[in-house]
Amino acid sequence: MRHIISVLLENEPGALSRVVGLFSQRGYNIESLTVAPTEDPTLSRLTLTTKGDERTIEQITKHLNKLVDVVKLVDLTEGGHIERELMLIKVKATGAQRAEIKRCTDIFRGQVVDVGPSVYTIQITGTSDKLDAFVQSMGDANILEVVRTGVSGLARGEKVLSL
């Protein structure tokens, strides 16, 4: 099953490489990873998605917790949560396609953020599934480039991951 693990990390040089290294070293899989400093510049917030059975996920969270740079973590998929991913996608857009692509973008509540004579660059936010669906709707032949941020997420309600 897919899990979203959210980590509060010391914003120190080398901290990220320890997290990433742990996954390759122990044969775990990272599907996506996103990291940036928080409102407290000494802390970074890292969100990663990974797949594995319950036992593997338990080992992953235990090993992450064991890293000296990791302050706290939470498996967001254990409870209600919000997840978002941002995608920029550049597609061929000529002739009648241009209107069709624009319509499709509107349906997905995306925005065309750059326009060229034969291309559109579209920005879309949402869950990974929604982004996958949009990619599919564009069709392989039309897609020139895709860049995705990876998942970010927060728990629903009062729950907070902080010091």
Residue with structure tokens 């750059």?
114
**Tokens of residue 66, six digits:** 């064991």
Nearest alpha-carbon partner for 130 in 89, 100, 158, 90 = 89
Binding of residue 141 to other proteins (CB under 8 A): no
Q: How far is the CB of 12 from other proteins (least distance, A)?
A: 9
Binding of residue 10 to other proteins (CB under 8 A): yes
Choosing from 41, 53, 68, 95, the residue that interacts with other proteins (CB under 8 A) is 68
Q: How far is the CB of 66 from other proteins (least distance, A)?
A: 6
3-state class percentages of the chain: helix first, strand second, coil last, to nearest 5: 35, 40, 30
Question: In the stretch 76-115, what mask flags binding to other proteins with x, by CB under 8 A?
Answer: ----------------------------------------
- Name the burial class of residue 131, with classes exposed (0-12), middle (13-18) and buried (19+) by CB atoms within 10 angstroms of its CB: buried
Positions that interact with other proteins (CB under 8 A)? 10, 13-14, 17-18, 21, 25, 55, 58-59, 62-63, 65-66, 68-71, 163
